[in-house]
Each structure stands twice: as structure tokens, then as C-alpha cells.
Amino acid sequence: MSALRSTVGALMFLVFSLFLYLFLWPVPLEPVAWVAPTDAGLVDPFEPNDRLRSARYVDLGVHEGPEDIARGPDGLLYTATSDGNIIRFDQNGSSIETFADAGGRPLGMEFDTYGNLIVANAYLGLQRISRDGQVSTLVDEFNGKKIVYADDVAIANDGIIYFSDASSKFGASISGGSYVASVLDIMEHGGHGRVFRHDPAIGETLLVLDGLNFANGVAVSEDQRYLLINETGSYRILRYWLSGPDQGRREVIIDNLPGFPDNINNGLNGKFWVGLIAPRNELLDQMAPKPWLRKLVQRLPASVRPQAAPSSHVIAITGDGEVLMNLQDTSARLPALTGVFETRDVLWLSTLFGNRVGRLDKQDLAR
């Protein structure tokens, strides 16, 4: 009997310890209750297709995580990789070479009118890289506090730089990487994302928007009248008016996307390209109004928490949110697409993981 009592006592202790761990162990999240829109899935205008199946792939060798692509004044294509390097290659996807070591984790980037590469570095803030590869910091703090997750950048015709700070709470470096930090911010849904305006001529940085749930891609319209901003954690795209009678107003142009929007890039003829890096997760949506459950899940091993499913999905939209193109590869040969860089003849596909970029010749675009 004493042995039985000892066994029961040990089991009760284990159960009690597990209870304390699951409900009381400290985690970095303080989840906020919200109601996720009902996921309609891949229905019109997002119905499944294989229009990306003709894409070819450019092997970048040892360089991984080509998250964004921009074309330089030399006609070469530039991309930022997870090792902190900016690499470049020609339009044929060959002659790959390192252009600069930006350090940290460079993400979104654009060239300014002087040929400088402006980079949103998730670890180090907003950077400028000169034509000869010299790296300098433009913005790494605001109101005395570090910017801990610079994510994407857009440059207006007048030289003003707009950039997103995905999360002011979950820094990419201190959280173990940009992807881990994004998951934490999305799980909390605490409105820590911001968008800034930086004037490099006078060195002034102003807050444009805050209270966003993982502020991600940002783009300036062709007519310079508004910004589009991907709010990844809320599955939607916002428009913020820079001028005109609606100046200073924000509005939702697409809500309830079937996936998590990542980068947003200017395409040709005034359109915008959006990468849907992963499809919606049913469990995550079900937990949205249950902060206690999201906190409990965060205490579980990472392998059993909600995971991003492999997906290859990009869309083109107008500034009013009309979907112009819906391109997918149901076999997800190049998963986690972050966005598209469009030239006259080619759609270049960027991705968060792996060591390849996609090249889709428009003449081969599957119908």
C-alpha cells in the first residue's frame, strides 16, 4: 500500500507541476482578445491555380533568405540574405557576387534617385548603402528608443523614405530571428507595429501610423497620393492618404485575405504586388478571442504550436484593392513567397527561406 501511495503521490505531483507550468510559467506574450474574420479559403478571386508552374529558379549558392529584390542603376538585381549580405546578379540570374555586408538581417529595400540602396534591417534599423558598398545608418531609434524590427521600405519621388517597424515589442534580434519575432507578435496581436516617415535631407523622422498588428510591406502609389501597408497579423491591406482631401486618413482596402500578406511592391502600370507568405491557420483563428489559450500554447514545445503550411501565392492589386492577378503553385516548389519584383518581361519571386529566387518569364505565364 505504501508503494501505491507513493506512486499516486508522485503522479499527483507531476500533474500539479504540469498544471503550474501550463498556466503560470512566464512567457513573453500578453495576448489581446480579438475576433478573426471567418476564413473563406481560396475562393474567387483567390481560387487555386498553377499559374506559377512555369517559374524557373536561380540558385544563390550559400546565400539564403532572399526576402526582397530591387534593381540597381547598373541594371543588376539586388537581394538581401539572412547572412547579412546584399548580393547582386544579372538579369539572367548569373554572375552572383556580394555587393555589401549590411550586417544583421536586411529585409525590404529600394534604390533612391542617387543610386543608394536604402535597406530596412530587422536588427539594425534603416540603412543606406552607397554605390561603392559603404554602409551607414539613417535611423535606429525614435524618441530615444531603439527600432527593433525595421521591415520594409518605400521611397517617394521627393526622396522621403517610408519604412515599417513590424513590432516595437518583439525585436528580431532579441527574439531569435525575424521569423520567430513575427510569430510572437502575431500570436500576441497587441498592435505594436508602426510606419515612419524619414526625410534624409534634414535627418528628421516622424511617426505616420501606429497600433498595427505586425506592420509589414509598405509602398507609395505611382501618383504619390497614398501609401499601401500590409498589416500581416490582421490579414489585411491598408491605405493611408498622404495628400488630398483625405490626407491623414487610413482605410482598409482588402480585408480577410486567405493568407498572411508580407511584402508589397510597386509593379508596372500602377499596380502593386503582394506576397502571401503562408495560408491562414484555422487553430490560430479559433484562438483569437481566447488570450489565455494563446498563452498556454506558447508554453508548449515549438513543434506542436501552430505551424505555417508551405504555400506559393502572390497577387497583384490596384490601389483600391481590386485583385488583378492571382498566381499560385499548388505544389509549392518555392514556398514562403514574400513578394514580386516586376520588369517588362519577368516576374522575380522572392522568398523568406532557402537559397533560390524564382524567375517567371511573362511569356511563359500559365493561363
- Checking if the pLDDT of 6 tops 90, the result is no
Alpha-carbon distance of 358 to 337, in angstroms, equals 9
Q: Which three cell numbers stand for residue 365?
A: 505565364
Strand partners, 56: 359
Q: Residue 46: what are its φ and ψ, rounded to 5°?
A: -115, 20
- pLDDT tens figures, 38-90: 999 999 999 999 999 999 999 999 999 999 999 999 999 999 999 999 999 99
Lowest mean pLDDT among 20-24, 126-130, 185-189: 20-24
Nearest to 359 by CA among 112, 123, 145, 54: 54
Alpha-carbon distance of 116 to 235, in angstroms, equals 32
Question: If you average pLDDT over every residue of the chain, what do you get?
Answer: 93
Q: Are 80 and 119 in contact (CB under 8 A)?
A: yes
Is 0.85 topped by the overall pTM?
yes
- What is the pLDDT averaged over residues 182-205? 97
Report which residue type is found at 23. Answer: F
Q: What was the pLDDT predicted at 319?
A: 98
Q: Which domains does the chain have, with CATH numbers?
A: 31-364 (2.120.10.30)
Confidence of residue 8 (pLDDT cuts 50, 70, 90): low
Percent of the chain with pLDDT over 90: 87
**In sequence order, which residues have a C-beta less than 8 Å from that of residue 10 and are 6 or more positions away?**
none
- pLDDT tens figures, 91-136: 888 889 999 999 999 999 999 999 999 999 999 999 999 999 999 9
The Cβ-side half-sphere exposure at 348, using a 13 Å CA radius, reads 25
Q: What was the pLDDT predicted at 19?
A: 44
**In sequence order, which residues have a C-beta less than 8 Å from that of residue 229 and are 6 or more positions away?**
164, 195, 209, 212, 215, 216, 217, 218, 237, 238, 239, 240, 264
Nearest to 209 by CA among 226, 197, 224: 197
- pLDDT tens figures, 260-317: 999 999 999 999 999 999 999 999 999 999 999 999 999 888 888 888 899 999 999 9
- What is the pLDDT averaged over residues 181-206? 97
- pLDDT tens figures, 216-228: 999 999 999 999 9
Instruction: Name the E strands within 84-224.
Output: 85-89, 97-101, 106-111, 117-121, 125-129, 135-139, 141-142, 145-146, 150-155, 161-165, 193-199, 204-212, 215-220
How many of the other CB atoms lie within 10 Å of CB of 189?
Answer: 22
- Checking if the pLDDT of 201 tops 70, the result is yes
Q: What was the pLDDT predicted at 5?
A: 61
Alpha-carbon distance of 263 to 350, in angstroms, equals 9
Q: Are 250 and 326 in contact (CB under 8 A)?
A: no
CA 307, 309, 312, 314 torsion: positive or negative?
A: negative
